[in-house]
Structure 1
């Protein structure tokens, strides 16, 4: 588990009441410092980008809570597509501040922060696949996470505008999006099995077979450090 300084967590707790009014802004960050026991210098060292770093932590904390909830959930009798759907629902359920997500969506839509937002979406998709026991180590490692990142992004946007009781409309939307992905996977299987397309799919398949997932990082006891992976 990634280490987070308790002072940074204190700043996150302190900023959330202000995000609904000021967004993930400099004003909100200053208010968080004033409301916490963290000194301004310490706060700036922990969060060089101010509120943006706390917005990132807010998202990462949501992923952590989701993984903890998934570890306790009984998914044994569910089809795999239903396990993915359950994971997406749990990720929404552990989000305690919907307005903070809305403001974060606006923040990470800014051009200079869009790569950071995409990274966070990818991180959620990776957390879900890893928690569900994904063992792929080839190109499928990337395609699974890229596809689920897109699904998660669309789910968040739909959920933010959902006014239905207990977000039942979002539940239905999740099911539809996953069904669409499954249709794409079935189409890919048909294409790969078509002998007329072998001259095209064969070389592409061999090229894809050369792709490998990143080596797993193994944490040392020192927070934030990991062992460099050896040759594959």
Structure 2
């Protein structure tokens, strides 16, 4: 199957066991079939049994590891009272909880990024990043489904990846440098969000205008009215080309 059509595996206890065993071998073998084979041996499984759990091989292993961390983040946050916090504090708490799920597996995360950065694996990398930032926004209590839905996730993706890079190399006590960096980035983002909100409030409802235009155009076509691309007095004017601009 093409990586463009990759889908995460469903969680299971057997996959959890195998993944934990694989993580013990990643520092030596990387995310590789050799690591999966060694993990299977540790658990008394055959290589074929292990491969049935992760039929997509290395990408399934890395994907399962990332999605499991998203799930564990949600479980860790269940013990916190996020509702009483400001949006800023909620987002910081959620991102911190997500990174802390891999506190004992930093080198495995680093190795996973190396695999995901390969061009053929970028569709999987983008899918996993989107799942994480989407989970972060929902956990932070943001349920907006308007035009800002995707812009918020794109912005947070940049913050998350930058913070992840700092975290991977952070040797400060309690990762204090990472959390200070995260707070600065979130402050920057919120300033931009406020400025953009003021601009959007002054603009017309652009999505609404586009919908109205599309509906009006469809109605004209149903009545058999063809669009006239000619300017007044210019009968020879050609309709605009449908080819995209270079």
**Is the structural similarity TM-score above 0.5?**
yes
Unaligned segments of structure 2, at least 5 residues: 1-8, 213-246
Q: Deviations over 1:88-147 (max 9, x none)?
A: 111112213111111111111111112211111111111122223322122222222222
Kindly name which structure, 1 or 2, has the bigger radius of gyration based on alpha carbons.
2
From 30, 34, 51, the equivalent of 2:37 is 30
From 197, 203, 226, the equivalent of 1:189 is 197
Paired with 2:13 and 2:45, the residues of 1 have a C-alpha distance of 10
Determine the structure 1 residue equivalent to 2:69.
Answer: 62
Determine the structure 1 residue equivalent to 2:226.
Answer: none
Q: Does 1:112 align with 2:120?
A: yes
- Contact 2:62 / 2:112 at 8 angstroms: preserved in 1? yes
Displaced runs of 4 or more, over 6 A: none
Q: Deviations over 1:2-39 (max 9, x none)?
A: 84232222210111111012210122122112222333
Range 36-45 or range 87-96, more displaced? 36-45
User: Offset of 1:169 from its aligned partner?
Assistant: 0.6
Determine the structure 2 residue equivalent to 1:166.
Answer: 174
Determine the structure 2 residue equivalent to 1:145.
Answer: 153
Provide the alpha-carbon RMSD of the alignment: 2.1
What does residue range 201-220 of structure 1 map to in structure 2 within 5 Å? Answer: 201-202=203-204, 204-206=206-208
State the SS of the aligned residue for 2:84: coil
Q: Deviations over 1:163-201 (max 9, x none)?
A: 21111110111011111111211221232345xxxxxx4
Determine the structure 2 residue equivalent to 1:198.
Answer: none
TM-score, normalised by the number of residues in structure 2: 0.75
From 183, 186, 191, the equivalent of 1:178 is 186
What does residue range 8-87 of structure 1 map to in structure 2 within 5 Å? Answer: 8-87=15-94
What does residue range 212-231 of structure 1 map to in structure 2 within 5 Å? Answer: none
- Contact 1:33 / 1:39 at 8 angstroms: preserved in 2? yes
TM-score, normalised by the number of residues in structure 1: 0.80
State the SS of the aligned residue for 1:69: helix
Paired with 1:209 and 1:150, the residues of 2 have a C-alpha distance of 31
Number of residues of Structure 1 aligned to a counterpart in Structure 2 = 203
Paired with 1:208 and 1:111, the residues of 2 have a C-alpha distance of 35
User: Offset of 1:41 from its aligned partner?
Assistant: 2.0
Paired with 1:136 and 1:49, the residues of 2 have a C-alpha distance of 34
